[in-house]
Chains A and B, each alone.
Chain A
Amino acid sequence: AQKITQTQPGMFVQEKEAVTLDCTYDTSDQSYGLFWYKQPSSGEMIFLIYQGSYDEQNATEGRYSLNFQKARKSANLVISASQLGDSAMYFCAMGSSGGSYIPTFGRGTSLIVHP
């Protein structure tokens, strides 16, 4: 069974500063993917970034980067130069690679960006 743990229910950051959202995972699979999603108050989930378990380099997408530490089973999201529009819920998720794919989501972290 897979498990995602997000230990920070809420985070606050000043506009233009960087923030790290924590995510740890547990799985017995060798091949898997890790994902981060953003959910603004409107409700729509937005895919942000993907990291494959065999990728040696940390994934980056614009201001988002994923700090992947395989031995520690952590996949933290780093948002650089925070903007007011980054205020939202952030979900970490994982899924095994291959045909049988049932994704597992964390409980989420609420991020508030202060001006």
Chain B
Amino acid sequence: KAGVTQTPRYLIKTRGQQVTLSCSPISGHRSVSWYQQTPGQGLQFLFEYFSETQRNKGNFPGRFSGRQFSNSRSEMNVSTLELGDSALYLCASMGTHNEQFFGPGTRLTVL
């Protein structure tokens, strides 16, 4: 089985721009979660989508949004980028015991 894939792997944007990240879960997995990882804040949960519906949400501002398609692929969008949004963004699909299978991540740099 192919693992979780994320595109792009690296991204450089400037303040005020918006960005869209993509994630394809493991085949058959219907839950996709997004995380932000920074040296200062560690790994923080953004949101989880299940069957095209947002099922859980972390404590992030509305500039962070997401969606899930009928094939379980998910996208995450960040609008009006700030310098503090520079981070590694990880996507994960959920296994039987709620374990997370992570993708390689998208490293976003905001200049």
* A and B found bound together: yes
A interface with B by C-beta (< 8 Å) = 33, 35, 37, 42-47, 50, 52, 91, 93, 95, 97, 99-108
Task: Say which size band chain B's interface belongs to.
Answer: 20 to 34
CB pair B102–A45 under 8 Å, yes or no, is: yes
User: Cβ of B55 < 8 Å from any Cβ of A?
Assistant: yes
CB pair A99–B55 under 8 Å, yes or no, is: yes
A sample of 17 inter-chain contacts (CB < 8 A) reads A33-B97, A35-B100, A42-B104, A43-B88, A43-B107, A44-B103, A44-B104, A46-B102, A47-B102, A50-B97, A52-B97, A101-B55, A101-B94, A102-B56, A103-B98, A106-B42, A107-B42
User: Cβ of B64 < 8 Å from any Cβ of A?
Assistant: no
CB pair B45–A103 under 8 Å, yes or no, is: yes
Give, as a whole number of angstroms, the nearest-CB distance from B7 to chain A.
14
8 Å CB contact of B45 from A102, A106, A108: A102
B interface with A by C-beta (< 8 Å) = 33, 42-43, 45, 48, 55-56, 58, 88, 90, 92, 94-95, 97-105, 107
8 Å CB contact of A101 from B42, B56, B102: B56
Contact residues of B: prevailing secondary structure: strand
Give, as a whole number of angstroms, the nearest-CB distance from B32 to chain A.
12
Report if A102-B58 is in contact (Cβ < 8 Å); known contacts: A45-B92, A47-B95, A108-B42. Answer: yes
Report if A105-B102 is in contact (Cβ < 8 Å); known contacts: A33-B97, A43-B107, A52-B97. Answer: no
Report if A100-B56 is in contact (Cβ < 8 Å); known contacts: A43-B105, A45-B90, A105-B43. Answer: yes
Distance in angstroms between the alpha carbons of A102 and B99 in the assembled complex: 12
Report if A97-B98 is in contact (Cβ < 8 Å); known contacts: A43-B88, A43-B105. Answer: yes
Q: Identify 9 new A-B residue pairs, CB closer than 8 A, beyond the known A44-B104, A97-B98, A108-B42.
A: A43-B88, A43-B104, A43-B105, A44-B103, A45-B102, A47-B101, A91-B43, A99-B55, A103-B33
